[in-house]
Structure 1
Amino acid sequence: MKVEQTKLEGVVIITPRVFGDHRGWFTETFNKEKFMENGIDIDFVQDNHSLSSQKGTLRGIHFQKEPKAQTKLVRCTRGKILDVAVDLRKNSPTYKEWVAVELTAENHKQLLVPKGFGHGFLALTENVEVQYKVDEVYSPDHDRSIKFNDPEIGIEWPDIKPVLSEKDEKAPLLKDSDVDF
């Protein structure tokens, strides 16, 4: 397993070892012991799996407020996405900064998005499947989103017309949100 630190402290790219032969391949996407050896100590409690049928589907920027904030371990198991993490911790030296990583079914990369960060992704192909683990169960009362194109954050999305949910269309700007990190 290879762990790469991004410019945002705690947001890491994890590339598991892949073993392949004439039959296909095998990889461990999560191994608590190996994660702990790399300084990642998280107790995941829920797995999620989504399908984005249309290229250009944009989900995010999502997070859960305290006390139900979530750490996410995200991977793309079909197709290709641009996965984005945004630092929403007001006292952080990287507040409002973001990183973007291309996750694909072929590159097996995963993005670890800690509590205190917003998360979103853009489907770069049709029929994208994304799976992610979280360390806190979904809580509708704590679920929040921020406008994907908030100029205060300035995420550089590819030039694709986004397909948005009603929730994401109506998401507030960061300055109008009740983010509490």
Structure 2
Amino acid sequence: MKFRELGIKGAYEIVPQQHGDPRGMFMEWYRFDRLAEVVGHPLNLAQANLSVSERGVVRGIHFADVPPGQAKYVTCVRGAVLDVVVDLRVGSPTFGHWEGVRLDDVDRRAVYLPEGLGHGFCALSDGATLSYLCSATYNPAGEHALHPLDPGLGIDWPAEVPLLSSRDEAAPSLADALASGLLPRYDACLEFTESLREG
């Protein structure tokens, strides 16, 4: 298992080691101890999600209030997606930047994103199935979205006509969310991460 930090501080791409033979394949897709070693604290597992999307579906950009936020460990167990991480932490050196990682059922990579970052993806195949491990349970009052097609984000989605949920279609732009004070602050996110390390 290899970890590579993305251009957005605190977010990682994880490449597992696959062991295959004529019977099939085995791998460790998540290791509590290895992740904690890299990010400096354990990922508290509070909820696991599974989503299935048809080709061209775009979900996101979703994020949660910090604290407590919601860290995620995401992998694609069927098909393929372009997984997107967006830095929404006001004051971060990479605020507003995004990075995409292809997740699929061939290389079986995963992405870890800490509290305060935005997350979304575009399904590259029919029946693309994502599995998420989350550090906090779903809290409707503290969960938010940005419009994934916002030119202010400038995400290059690989879909001719992206299919969005009504929630994502109605979500504000990055500029509007910033002006309304909806976005997490970088210093608060760092402070929260430090509390996890100390705890």
TM-score (normalised: structure 2)? 0.86
The farther-off stretch of 93-102 and 155-164 is 155-164
Matched, 1:45 2:46: yes
Q: How many residues align?
A: 180
Query: 1:131 is matched by which residue type in structure 2?
Result: S
Alignment of 1:125-136 (within 5 A): 125-136=125-136
Shift, 1:35, TM fit: 2.0
Q: Which has the higher helix share?
A: 2
Residues in 2 aligned to 1:156 and 1:61: alpha-carbon distance in whole angstroms: 13
Distance (whole Å) between structure 1 residues aligned to residue 36 and residue 87 of structure 2:
23
Q: CA deviation at 1:153?
A: 1.7
User: Are 1:180 and 2:181 matched, yes or no?
Assistant: no
Aligned partner letter, 1:171: A
For structure 2, which runs of at least 5 residues remain unmatched after alignment? 186-199
Runs of at least 4 residues off by over 4 Å: none
Residue by residue over 1:42-96, the C-alpha shift from the partner in whole angstroms, topping out at 9 and shown as x without a partner, is 22211110111x2101100001112331111110000000000000011110000
Identify, as 1 or 2, the structure richer in strand: 1
Which string of whole-angstrom CA distances, capped at 9 and with x for unpartnered residues, describes residues 140-173 of structure 1?
1111000102122211112421111100110110
SS in 1 for 2:141: coil
Other-structure match for 1:81: 81
Q: Distance in 2 between matches of 1:109 and 1:144?
A: 26
1:124 counterpart residue number? 124
CA distance in 2, matches of 1:141, 1:37: 32
Name the counterpart of 2:137: 137
d(CA) in 2 for partners of 1:111 and 1:82?
11
The aligned runs of 1:95-174 (5 Å cut-off) are 95-174=95-174
Residues 103-144 of structure 1 show CA distances to partners (whole Å, capped at 9, x for unaligned) of 001111001111111000000110110001111111011110
The 2-side partners of 1:165 and 1:106 are apart by 28
Once the 2 structures are TM-superposed, how far is the Cα of residue 40 of structure 1 from its aligned partner? 4.8
Other-structure match for 1:27: 27
State the alpha-carbon separation in 2 of the partners of residues 131 and 50 from structure 1: 7
- Once residues 37 and 119 of structure 2 are traced to their aligned partners in structure 1, the CA distance between those partners, rounded to angstroms, is 25
Native 8 Å contact 1:68 1:139 kept in 2: no
TM-score, with normalisation over the residues of structure 1? 0.95
Residue 190 of structure 2 corresponds to which residue in structure 1? none
Match of 2:195 in 1: none
Counterparts of 2:144 and 2:159, CA distance in 1: 25
Root mean square deviation of aligned Cα: 1.2
Percent of residue pairs identical: 38
